[in-house]
Amino acid sequence: MNSLRLIPRFVFLRPCSTSEMELTQKEKKRKEKKKRREEKRDKFKANESLIENVPSNFQSCMNLKVEQRTKKLSYISGRKSESKSIHADE
């Protein structure tokens, strides 16, 4: 125990050099970048799962727009009968 008392405290608490401080700052920046990338990836995955449900709704909406457009065109061209839509197979 007496040998520990002879060792001055500043040996244990030596200040780190500037290069070590720079390394720790670089490591912090790397960790922050990694964290941001993971957050973006998580957001993208969440959005991807939402997008998977969209095409069926989007496709039906587009079918309605095409039907309305064909009706409008047939009316404008003088043909009062409604033409069949392009997506009539559904």
> What is each CA distance from 68 to 15, 63, 73, in whole angstroms?
76, 9, 9
Domain count, the chain: 1
* pTM of the full structure: 0.35
pLDDT at 67: 72
Please say whether the beta carbons of 60 and 44 come within 8 A: no
Q: Give per-residue pLDDT as tens, 6-57.
A: 655 555 555 666 666 777 888 889 999 999 999 988 888 877 766 665 556 5
> What is each CA distance from 71 to 18, 34, 61, 85, in whole angstroms?
75, 54, 15, 8
Considering the domain boundaries, does residue 2 fall inside one? no
- Which residue segment(s) compose the domain that 60 sits in? 17-76
pLDDT at 59: 64
Considering the domain boundaries, does residue 36 fall inside one? yes
